[in-house]
Structures are given as structure tokens and as C-alpha cells.
Amino acid sequence: MTFKELNLVEPIQRALDLTGYINPTPIQAQAIPHVLEGRDLLGCAQTGTGKTAAFSIPLIQQIYTSKEPSRGIQALILSPTRELAIQIDNDIATYGKFTGLKHTVIFGGVSQHGQVNALKRGVDILVATPGRLLDLIGQGFIKLGNIKHFILDEADQMLDMGFVHDVKRVIALIPRKRQTLFFSATMPKEITQLADSLLTDPVKVEVTPPASTVDRINQSLYYVDKKDKTKLLLHLLKEKQMGSTLVFTATKHGADKVVKELIKSDIEAAAIHGNKSQNNRQKSLQAFKDGKLQVLVATDIAARGIDIDELEYVFNYELPNVPETYVHRIGRTGRAGHGGVAIAMCDPDERRELVNITKVIKKDIPVEKEHPFSLPESSLKTPIPKQTAHSLRQSKGRSFKKSVRR
Ligand code: AMP
């Protein structure tokens, strides 16, 4: 199928021609016709599947072709993180370039001044994170009474980040008569319940990136002592002459420590995490995208929404407690049809996490033994550490089988 077969209006088709996209991704092919008809949608999909265009394109078209005169914000898109919100707004700018529709993005961590000015100029489509949205509603700068389309993106992440109450407060302010599009990478019980309460007779679309994306990515596993991880990272960066590399750490402090060591070894690196100001995060991300930074070290929350087409290497410096997070992380590479390399570092204490990850991806990650920090076999034969209370709590309610079908 090509985009030409989707009955898109000329200004959108023209914008798509500029992007060079020819074929809609599976989620786009399945979702766009139904969303154009005004149906509600339940999308089980993660970033990397083309889901942003799957909702943005039909949303723009509906507003563009609606005969009603604009009376304020007509579409609201909620995103859990600032990075993802900015990414969505950029995509709307791309697809809506020739439609004349007005859009803006609001998020916390920066001055509200520019955002308020943009709102005052009038907005058709608003992309927002929940906190700043409620803040500006409270100050009287935003009215949601004219919303006709509501999009909740990455609902499971909203839940994980503790935003569900904020989301519910926002929903209570939107007219009941509206189109709702609901996206989540995983469908734990709380998310299914939230979706049921929001959607009316939705079209259900489920795409399967993990298996397909994961298959395209060249994964390898290095057993290494915790204390040698940075040395191994430095060794691999040099030996394999790695270009743009994204490194995931478990903590903000850990991210800062890795960056310090990399800089000491003359590698251009920066960290992005929740303790960095929004401007700083954006600056680092832009420098990374522009190729001025070789390595970006990130925690999961800051990395949501990072969309770099040509990112080649992703490191799991520490293995995540939630196995699905491994799939999210490595899915930063191998995007939009490109290949990629994902390297996992596992110290003997992380073998429980490794077992859980291999259950989710349904295969073993090939072990790379030939490296200077390789561990003796004996250290891997000790009993596998028990599941921690934290990891148990984190994975509760998530079915392995389901997560594989994301
Ligand atoms: P998303 O899942 O929305 O984060 O999109 C993932 C990436 O795929 C983004 O870099 C998009 O620019 C790209 N993309 C989206 N739709 C298409 C398409 N139909 N063909 C090629 N690339 C696409």
C-alpha cells in the first residue's frame, strides 16, 4: 500500500512527499482510514512503529477539512515526557506544514512565557505534558471546552510515572463528545481499565515491533564485573570505532559518573536525566542528533521519545528491572527499517534481570566472551540472585506474552 491510497488531502500528501515516506507502516495503514472516519482507536504500539504519524495525519486532516470555524483548541495530545511531546509537535509541524493549522507544545521545566504567548496567538492542536497543562489551565491560559479529538500517548508510561491522576483530571475537563485515540506499548490491567473508561467502540490495532525490531538488531551480551563496566565501554567504543552511541544507566548519578569517565578519556559525552534542566536536556539531545556528541548517557525517563533515525549503538550499561524496558531501549536503534547494534552488560548480580529479559524476547542473547574484562565461568555458576521486591513490583500486571506482541 502507498500513502496515495489513503485518501489524504493534497496539502498532507505534499508534506509526505517531502518526507520521502512512500509506504505507510502497518499501524498507519490500519489506523488512518478508521481515524479519518472519526472512530475511537486503541493502539497497542511503541515508539518506532510510526504511531505518531498514525494519529497525527488523520487528526490534521479532520481538523483541516472540518467546516466548523475554529473556536480554540480542537485537539489535545497528552504525552508523559517532554522529549516525546516535542517530538510529536515536530511531527505535526512536518505533516501539517501546508495546512495552515496552528499547533504548539507545552511542558514543564522551562519558563512558561513563550508557551503562554504561543497559546495567546491561537492554537488548533496542543501537545502537552500533564503537569504544565494543568498548571496553565489553573492560570486561565487554556480552555479545553472545544476539544473534539483527544489523544493519550504512551498510557503505560503515564501510569509508571505516576501521572494517572493528572490525566484523569484533564479528561474531566474535556467534552464527553469527542474522538479518543489511546496508545500504549503494554496493556497491564490498569491500562485496559482506563482505556475501557475512555473509548467508545474503538478500532483495535496491535503491531508487533518487539519481535520484528528485535530481530533486526544485532544483540550481544558481555558478562563483566560492575567495576569494569566503564572500562569495557571505553574499550568497545575505541575498538569498534563506534559512532553515535546511546548508553542507558539505572540511575542519574550513574549516568553522570559514566559521562565523567568518558570525558576524561577525551570522548564527547553528555548525560540526560531528570535532574538536568529541560534546556540542558534539549541542548545535549540536539548536539547528539547533530553528531557533535559521540555518546549520550541517559536514564529511561529522559530517553522516552528520543528519535534518532541513524542511531547505531545502544548499550544497556545496567540491565533494567522491567524486562520490557530492554526492548524499549534497544528499539532506539533499528528504527524506520535501519539495522542496529545493542550491547548488554551483565554483572553476576544482574542474572535475574537477564533471565526475565530473555523470556520477553523469547531468545538468548549471544554471549561475547572475547574481551579484556571477561569473567571466569565460575563466577556465573553461583546461584542466580532472587527477584528483588522492586523488580517484582515493577513487573506486576505485565504479561510476558502480551509484551512480546507490542
Ligand atoms: P514513531 O513510532 O512515531 O516514533 O516513528 C518512528 C520513526 O519512523 C520516525 O523517525 C518517523 O519519522 C519514521 N516514520 C514514520 N512513518 C514512516 C513511514 N511511513 N515510512 C518511513 N518512516 C516513517
Compare 323 and 204 and report the one with higher pLDDT: 204
Higher-scoring residue by pLDDT: 381, 140: 140
Give the tens place of pLDDT for each residue, 265-314: 999 999 998 788 878 888 998 899 888 999 999 988 766 666 676 788 99
Residue 14 neighbours by CB distance under 10 Å: 13
pLDDT of residue 61: 97
pLDDT (mean) for 260-267: 96
Residue 376 has pLDDT above 50, yes or no: yes
Higher pLDDT: 387 or 3? It is 3
Q: What is the pLDDT of residue 399?
A: 32
Mean pLDDT calculated for residue range 242-251 = 93
Which pLDDT does position 260 carry in this prediction?
97
Out of 117-126, 145-154, 325-334, 357-366, which region has the weakest mean confidence (pLDDT)? Answer: 325-334
- For residue 75, is pLDDT > 80? yes
SS3 68: coil
Tell me: pLDDT of 397 over 60: no
Cα 54 to ligand 1 centroid, rounded to whole Å: 9
Mean pLDDT of 325-341: 77
Q: What is the Cα–Cα distance from 391 to 383, expressed in whole angstroms?
A: 18
Distance in Å from the first CA to the final CA of the chain: 22
- pLDDT 10s digits, 85-128: 999 999 999 999 999 999 999 999 999 999 999 999 999 999 99
The mean pLDDT value for 381-386 works out to 75
pLDDT score of 161 more than 60? yes
Counting atoms of ligand 1 from 1, which one is nearest the CA of 47? 2
Beta strands in 215-360 (DSSP E): 217-223, 245-248, 269-272, 295-298, 313-316, 340-346
pLDDT(46) > 80: no
User: Which residue, among 263, 255, 395, has the nearest Cα to 315 in the 3D structure?
Assistant: 255
How far out from the chain centre does Cα 31 lie? 19
368, burial (CB in 10 Å: exposed 0-12, middle 13-18, buried 19+): middle
Q: What's the average model confidence in pLDDT over 228-243?
A: 94
| 63 confidence band (pLDDT: 50, 70, 90) | very high
Average pLDDT across the chain, whole number: 88
Task: Categorize the per-residue pLDDT at 394 as very low, low, confident or very high, splitting at 50, 70 and 90.
Answer: very low
Share of the chain above pLDDT 90, in %: 64
Q: Which of 3, 18, 52 to mutate to test the pocket of ligand 1 (most atoms within 8 A of CB)?
A: 52
Q: What is residue 317's three-state secondary structure?
A: coil
Residues touching ligand 1 (Cβ under 6 Å) are: 21, 23-25, 28, 47-53, 307, 309, 335-336
Query: Ligand 1: which of 13, 17, 19, 151 to mutate, most ligand atoms within 8 Å of CB?
Result: 19
The CATH-assigned architecture of domain 3-206 is 3-Layer(aba) Sandwich (3.40)
Residues of the chain with CATH 3.40.50.300: 3-206, 217-405
DSSP lists the bridge partners of residue 104 as: 126
DSSP state at residue 346:
E
Bigger pLDDT: 283 vs 335:
283
- Mean pLDDT, rounded, for 186-209: 86
CA 309 to chain centre: 13
Task: Say what the pLDDT of residue 390 is.
Answer: 43
Nearest CA to ligand 1 atom 21: 21
Alpha helices, DSSP H, located in 149-276: 155-160, 164-171, 189-198, 209-216, 229-239, 252-264
Cα(48) to ligand 1 centroid in Å equals 6
pTM, whole model, 2 decimals? Answer: 0.67
CATH code of the region 217-405 = 3.40.50.300
Q: What is the pLDDT of residue 348?
A: 93
Q: Which amino acid residue places its CA nearest to atom 1 of ligand 1?
A: 50
Side-chain half-sphere of 370: how many Cα atoms within 13 Å? 1
| Residues above pLDDT 70, as percent of the chain | 89
